[in-house]
Structure 1
Amino acid sequence: MFKKTVMVLALLGAAASAHAEQYTFINEGFNNVPGLTGQGWKVVNNASGGVTPGWVQGDQTNFTAHTGAPESYASSLWSDAGAGQSLASWLITSAFSTEFDTQVSFWARGGGDATYLDQLTYGLVNSAGDISSLITTATVTALDDWTRYTFTIAGQGAGSTARFALGHVGDADAANIVGIDDLRVAQVPEPSTWALAGVSLLGLMAARRRRAR
């Protein structure tokens, strides 16, 4: 019985391992936000009059990260734009394939002060990272605790690529701070991957029944 169990777990483990290695494009925990630009990411601040540059390393005196070290998240502040101005602070990932269905997920939160209204807009831009090409998925108000957001991109065909863009937007005078953490972009598993594991499991079950008879 133990041998059969080990074989089943090995098959499932192999399928899961293939999925993790083959389908994950981006898995970012934001341990080094300044270093992201060296990995093909972009930080774009289109607001005027701000005294801070846009997305920066998190600060645990505001709040701690969703996972990992206390400051391992990316944050954007109200001061990215001047008084009376609108925020337009964008964090844009490196390019990834959209040939097949792809899921984007991330965690976000606000500063925990209900007197402020911090908004996040997110969606896809072209592979060049041009924010004018943004196709908006949603605009949400950052909640006072870490909250997961996720959406699926329908496959666009061979050779297609895109980037994920997330913006701190809205009235700077009404904003405070937002943070994002644990951003992941991964291809949705093809049914054949799990069908193969299922067929293998059925084969083991059939063999077991034959031996029992």
Structure 2
Amino acid sequence: MIQTLSKQVGGITYFWYLYRDGRTIQIYHGVTEQWKLDQDVSDEKKEQYSTRRQAKRRMEELIAEKQAEGYKQDDIYGMQPGRKEREKFRRRTFWFAYILMGLGLFQFVTPFSVLPIVVFGMGIPLMLLAFLGKGYLPTWLRIVCFVSYFFMHVIHQQESYIPYLFPVLSIGTGILLWFHLRKTRQQMKVEQ
């Protein structure tokens, strides 16, 4: 994780580069036009911590200290805000899509049925995807997730009347989620 902070003083830009790699933080301080100053202001430090959490906390403290001194956080690498959250959402949704497809195929292939409580348990993440995936999933896919949740709730209540609805919903919703996430991943690779 790289963070860049800078501030302008008298036509000279002072900057800090903070780089965290696991438990190590590397800090570099300098100016853009060194020849305008009489002294050397460059500085380089390396700090090692026993846990990643300590390093992350120290990096946040350093950023807060520098912002209090008037430095502004730069976005020189074009990182979009919330990128980490989107990646986490995508990764979890991929796993959920695989689980949905696997449970659906399990019920089609084997003579065993999936317990109604498992069906209901799989419906709850679908409901969460429908309501919490507003910035991550398109509206049509959120509607599909909500309809699947609704029917899975009906299956939980009336399991014996609709035997093959869960596998069809599970496989269909899982495939739609998987294809959408795969398409967005390819678009992200093209943008980079």
Larger radius of gyration: 2
TM-score above 0.5, yes or no: no
- Alignment TM-score, normalising by the size of structure 1: 0.22
Return the structure number with greater helix share.
Answer: 2
Specify which structure has the bigger relative contact order, considering alpha-carbon pairs within 8 angstroms and separated by 6 or more residues: 1
